[in-house]
A and B are shown apart, each in its own frame.
Chain A
Amino acid sequence: MLTLLVLTPLLGAVVVALIPARRRELHLPLGMALSVAPLGLAGAVFFSFDAGEASFQMVEKVVWWEPWGVSWQLGVDGISLGMVALTAILFPLSLAVSDSISHRRKAFVVAMLFLETGLIGTFLALDLLLFFVFFEVILVPMYLIIGVWGGERRVYAAVKFFIYTAFGSALLLAAIIALAVMHASQTPDGLLSFDYLALLALDISPTAQMWLFGAFALAFAIKVPLFPFHTWLPDAHVEAPTAGSVLLAGVLLKLGTYGLLRFNLTLFPEATVSLVPVLAVLAVVGIIYGAVVAIVQPDLKKLVAYSSVSHLGFVVLGIFALTSAGLQGAVIQNVNHGLTTGALFLLVGMLYDRRHTKQISDFGGLATPAPLMAGFFLFMAFASIGLPGLNGFVGEFLVLVGSFPSLPALTVVAAFGVVLAAIYMLWAYQRVFTGPVSGAENRKLADLSPKETAVLAPLAALVLLLGLYPGILLERTAPSVEAILDRIEQHTDYQAPSPGRLADVFLSDSEEDS
């Protein structure tokens, strides 16, 4: 089932590639239709997932490069489940808004579907080399999507994106090799292995843990991106086409937080505990820095891009709070941010399609000609700020509650990020949508078409669903999160503080429902 889920988009890419280039009207609808198949499969995985189980489910393993112990091994747990579902949801929606891609449309659809295979594969891979292969292969379609179909400075942005991430993953590869060789020296048969589950059993010295943690963390920090490795992000976002931005923010950045959560915490528990201060400080700096820079952005797309730096800082803070509430918050905020920021990028893209500008100062009073669009924007802005009842609240609240017991001072600073988020989001809304309509072009601005509404509506519904009933996700993530914490407590003398009563509101809520 999981193999099928990974390979269906690839198969779709092959099918689209076989359609002659002159039938250009077919490529996009076909690509959309084909990306619904993995969505169906992901839905099936989501609902057949056993919420009480902490370990990996639906595991599939086939020996791949036999002499080196590399295997095609997939499995899903609470950490990856939400990400896989999010990926599968965002692809058909991003393809649906890609009408504005005018040249080489076939190649665009092929690149998108190839990207989907890579992303789903990265979240499901249980073999470190397989993970690396997916992690690295994603760069090619994403590079093309930015570099071929992007804005004016697209080549610069694409190359910058590629170089940053390639450097990060270079050291990741060295660390993975180190683990495989360590496995060979610690097992009696002396065989190399990249199997994540087998590598968990390794006995790694504290010094080695620090080095390996550093290599893994650098690769993932660039991806997140954690301050100060974030400088590629605004360029990539601004130049990428709408679909590219949605997937970049919605899914690609999550590879970083996912990697930290999946590999750093479990493989190197001792290093994790001793490096908490470093990463937590970087996360909080990112929260505040991203938010402050977002406030002064004259470019709407850049504003949303910097808000991602800030939001993902919350996720990293939640991870390194090392409490169950913090981790839960990080996992769910990963998904939340994908939904809300994805929707915001879609809206910015829709504005750009109409006016061919992203400068906030070019807009004004758009709520009068386009009330529906204004409504969706405000809704998503509220979700992004963390208005209670919407999904962002659940995630950020859990992160803050979870990190307060272990990192009180940093949490207080981080909480200002929420205030700043209200400033940049609402101020942007005010300047773009409220007040008198400025300019003739804005007056004539068309409201959302039925298709655009149909693209945004499911995201809005999910935002509301996860806001009102977070249990549907939390109950599935809870056992895996506890398992990570247990592992850290077993391997170090670290004791996670109790999550605190407020956080229990959400957690017990989910237990009642399950």
Chain B
Amino acid sequence: MIPEAFPEIAWSALAPELVLVFGAVALLLLDVQRKPGVKVLWVMSLVILAVALALGVWQWIAATPEGEPIFGGMLLFDRSAALARLVVLGVTIQAMAAARSLFAHLGNRAAEGLALVLLAAAGFILMAASQNLVMMFLGLEMGSISLYILAGIAGDGVRSDEAALKYLLLGAVASAVFIYGAALVFAGTGSLDLLGIGEFFARNLLLSPAVLLVGIGLLTAGLSFKVAAAPFHVWAPDVYQGAPAGIVGYMAAVAKVGGFAALARVLLSGFENFRPDWAPIVAGIAALSMVVGALMAIISSDIRRLLAYSGVAHAGFILTGLASGVEGSSSVWFYLAVYTVQLVAAFSVISVVGGAASSGSDLSDYRGLYRRSPFLALVLSVALLGMAGLPLTTGFVAKLGVFLWAWRGDLEWLVVVAVVASAMAIYLYLRVIVIMYMQSPVGDDPVLCDRPTSWALGAATAVTVVLGVFPQPLLRLVETAIYL
């Protein structure tokens, strides 16, 4: 018999995460017991992810839009969290499908790597669904620690070690900042539960909210670190450059989804009342990120650093949507969903061109890629044009959405900064395309990629173009995913 104090748990609502976690454990045990080949493990992990995604879709259809509190209100899979789950699982499958060669390279560490990928995905999904700051921290750490290890897992070369260590140290500081912020929020309101905080404000009026505001600021700073928004972005280029190419896209994508979901939930669900206080700060971070990201990317000579800085700029665009308030969060979701697909596709191409486990990738390696592999050049071009926000790609729709909501949210100045920053950014993406198509190749040998990689890349390209022309299905989907 279940004791009275033990809450009833809607396990079915957690089914995808349970599959991921138990799947990860199963992979590790299987590896110890049987030593199956890397290929078997890799296929298993894809199957686990596919099952989790199927359950996630089932939950999307079956569950009520408001979701059901789990673990006494620690977790809540409302529409936005359920969407975050689908995005995380989708890009994880996309990244893993293209990463077989990386795990083949890892050899007997492959099972660990795959298990960590599954755990990180589960961690960031839980982070996105957290209603409680402690739960959020647990999800954040579960995801982040997995990523710290993954950053250094290839273990060959100083660069990879440097990347992992840098990520670990700065990440730990950010986590500390976050948890300190949570403590101050608790001091200010007596609650760590975001709904509880809302109720607190319904009943009380804070005469001096200084402590609380500092707490909100620290939470924002900690999460800004995770999503690599300026000025908390300095780790990103080194980590993106040093970590194994096959995994960087995945790392960046899931950390961004989890981080923005958490940020949106904290700011829009917990502290919506304080929007006049935090909106200028978030808008300032957004503007700084867009400008700094675009400028630094323009002077980068390494494609990974370039994408890292462009990621900073994209964090700025997403924050622009966030700063515009609750309705704007639909544009945040659209942006995250389409940007992560482009990001993972771009890094998959990098891992094919430069080697899945390698560190660093100079732009000059991409000279004349068109001749060595027309397919990869096309995929990378579409991904970059998508990031540039050119019409007929999803990137344009995403940017338009963010701009529309920001303008409606009276952040006209931010929209002007954003359009100018995106015009600057066009140059940097164009630069890569020029190198690929208009310069003579470094070698004559064709660049080949395995079949699953081609499928993943082809699908990402198709999604970017088709949803760019006909975005209505995704637009309707994200409209339901605003924070209430």
Contacts and interface: CB of A to CB of B under 8 A. Distances in A.
Interface of A: 65-68, 129, 132-133, 136-137, 140, 143-144, 147-148, 154-155, 158-159, 162-163, 166-167, 169-171, 173-174, 177-178, 180-181, 184, 192
A170 B422 contact: yes
B333 to A, nearest CB: 13
3 closest A-B pairs (Cβ-Cβ)?
A170-B423, A133-B391, A170-B419
A103 to B, nearest CB: 11
A174 B412 CA distance: 9
A167 B423 contact: yes
A274 B195 CA distance: 54
Given A163-B423, A163-B430, A167-B420, 4 more contacts: A67-B472, A171-B419, A173-B400, A177-B407
B423 A159 contact: no
Contact of A148 (B390, B422, B426, B437): B437
A177 B400 contact: yes
A184 B391 CA distance: 23
B434 A147 contact: yes
B44 interface: no
Given A171-B416, A180-B404, A66 B472 contact: yes
B477 to A, nearest CB: 10
B407 A65 contact: no
A169 B415 CA distance: 14
Interface in B179-215: none
B427 interface: yes
Contact of A137 (B391, B427, B471): B391
Contacts of B400: 68, 129, 173, 177
Interface of B: 385, 390-392, 396-397, 400-401, 403-404, 407-408, 412, 415-416, 419-420, 422-423, 426-427, 430-431, 434, 437-438, 471-472, 475-476, 479
Contact of B479 (A67, A140, A147, A155): A67
Contact of A65 (B397, B419, B438): B397
14 contacts: A65-B397, A67-B475, A68-B400, A68-B401, A68-B475, A133-B392, A140-B385, A147-B434, A163-B426, A163-B427, A167-B420, A167-B423, A173-B400, A173-B403
Contacts of B408: 181, 184
Contacts of B392: 133, 137
B404 A166 contact: no
Choose among B396, B415, B420, B426 the residue with the greatest number of A CB atoms under 10 Å from its CB: B426
A148 B438 contact: yes
Contacts of A136: 390-391
A174 B416 contact: yes
A174 B391 contact: no
Contacts of A132: 391
Choose among A155, A162, A173 the residue with the greatest number of B CB atoms under 10 Å from its CB: A173
A147 B427 CA distance: 14
Contacts of A140: 385, 390
Contacts of A173: 400, 403, 419
Contacts of A143: 430
A304 to B, nearest CB: 25
B404 to A, nearest CB: 6
B471 A65 contact: yes
A171 B420 CA distance: 7
A236 to B, nearest CB: 15
Contacts of A163: 423, 426-427, 430
A166 B426 contact: yes
A136 B390 CA distance: 7
A372 B117 CA distance: 73
A93 B427 CA distance: 32
A483 to B, nearest CB: 29
B419 A174 contact: yes
A66 B479 CA distance: 12
A148 B475 CA distance: 36
Nearest to B418: A174
A68 B404 contact: yes
B423 A166 contact: yes
A180 B479 CA distance: 18
Contacts of A133: 391-392, 396
A279 B408 CA distance: 31
A136 B400 CA distance: 14
B388 to A, nearest CB: 9
A177 B403 CA distance: 7
Contacts of B472: 65-67
A68 B415 CA distance: 17
A159 B419 contact: no
A456 to B, nearest CB: 32
Given A132-B391, A136-B391, A171-B416, A181 B438 contact: no
B178 to A, nearest CB: 34
Given A147-B434, A170-B420, A192 B403 contact: no
A181 B434 contact: no
Given A137-B392, A140-B390, A159 B427 contact: yes
A202 to B, nearest CB: 15
A154 B471 CA distance: 35
A419 B437 CA distance: 45
A144 B403 CA distance: 29
A239 to B, nearest CB: 12
A17 to B, nearest CB: 12
B407 A178 contact: yes
Contacts of A68: 400-401, 404, 475
A174 B475 CA distance: 20
Nearest to B479: A67
A47 to B, nearest CB: 32
A67 B403 CA distance: 15
Nearest to A70: B400
B404 A177 contact: yes
B51 to A, nearest CB: 32
B412 A178 contact: yes
A174 B434 contact: no
Contact of B415 (A137, A166, A177): A177
Nearest to A192: B404
A82 to B, nearest CB: 26
A162 B404 contact: no
A412 B306 CA distance: 53
A162 B396 CA distance: 17
Contacts of A159: 427, 430-431, 434
Given A174-B403, A177-B404, A137 B390 contact: yes
Nearest to A133: B391
Contacts of B391: 132-133, 136-137
Nearest to B416: A174
A184 B405 CA distance: 12
A133 B471 CA distance: 14
A84 B112 CA distance: 62
A148 B371 CA distance: 13
Nearest to B471: A65
B422 A147 contact: no
Contacts of B404: 68, 177, 180-181, 192
A67 B476 contact: yes
Contacts of B419: 170-171, 173-174
